[in-house]
Structures are given as structure tokens and as C-alpha cells.
Amino acid sequence: MRVLKYAILGLLNRHECSGYDITSQFKEEIGQFWSAKHSQIYPELKKLVDEELVQFRTVIQGEKLEKKIYTITSEGQRELMEWVSASAPLPETEKDTFMLKMYFIGNLPKEEARELFADQLRLRRHKLKDLQQRYEGLKQTFGAEGAEVTFANPHLGHYLVLTKALAREQSYVDWLEEHVQIFG
């Protein structure tokens, strides 16, 4: 299944975008749960155009620079809605390189293992802090302090994804802090 296809359709269903805009979204909100590189996005956009799920118009930016602005077609919206509403099985185990290294940690000298563990804790704390800042910014978009999150809120999807990312990172930091003493 081409999940990237649906991610792009979903973004274009929100508003028209250039390929650059789509790539940027994968570095922001969507990057908390899905990744795609520039080299994957542009070929997928071409496929979507060929399948008539998206269309584009060319605009001139500056004096000569051409830029394609993509929009979703009604067929693209139909496919997106079918995909969003379909039940999905639990995914296979998510890939976590650090956890794979932990499985083999006993092969390292204790000092190297301690450094690896401490580095991961530092990186995870930094990511958690970044997510907390994003969350504070998102709360501002909800308006009055304590405003209720409802289905009608246009930022609901961002809120759900961000709070899940916060919980994931907090759990990771908690786990690292709980086990750091193993390395002395």
C-alpha cells in the first residue's frame, strides 16, 4: 500500500500546496508520526497526477522560476475518504534503531554503553522540550485558556498527533531515566 499517496492527498485536501510545501509538512507536524523525503514526494506527486487524483497549475515566481501548485481532484478526495475511514490492522513492530542497539548493548564496554545511553537521554529530552513548545503554541490557536478540544475544531488532528508524540517521548525519557543507573 502506498501510504505516502494518502498522506499527500490528505495535505492537498486541506489546501493547495507546492511540492516544497508538502516536503516542509513532513518536517513539521506529520514528521511526528510519518517521514518522507524530497526524493519520495516528487515521484509520488507525478503518479498522483498520472492517476488523476491530483492536478497542478504552473505559476511563475520571480522573473522565470516556474512552480507547480497541486490540488486534489474529486476522485482524489473520494480515495482519501475511503482510506481514512477504513479500519486498519495493528502495524508490525515499529523500527527503533536505539532499541535494537540496546538488545546488543552487552557487547560494548560499560563506559561506551553509558555514553550511548546518556546521549539518547539527552536527545530525547531535547525532542520532548521541542514538542512541549509546539504544544504550547498549538494551545494558543485554541483561543481562551482551557478551551475545550472538540471534533469541530479545525486543529483537532494536529492536537491528537501532537499529544500522542508528547506521550511517546515522555514515556521514552521516563524509561531512560529509570534505567540509566544500570550503567553506574
Residue type, 88: A
- Which residue intervals of the chain are DSSP H helices? 3-14, 19-25, 38-50, 74-85, 97-103, 110-141, 156-179
Per-residue model confidence (pLDDT) at position 144:
52
Per-domain boundaries in the chain: 3-85, 97-183
- Which letter does DSSP use for residue 92 in this model? S
pTM of the entire predicted model: 0.74
| Predicted pLDDT at 71 | 97
Taking the C-alpha atoms of residue 95 and residue 104, their distance in angstroms, rounded to an integer, is 15
**Contact, 30 vs 7, CB < 8 A?**
yes
pLDDT in tens, 45-91: 999 999 999 999 999 888 878 899 999 999 999 999 999 999 988 87
For helices 74-85 and 3-14, the axis angle rounded to 10 degrees is 120
Which ranges of the chain have pLDDT less than 50? none
pLDDT of residue 143: 61
Q: Which CATH class is domain 3-85?
A: mainly alpha
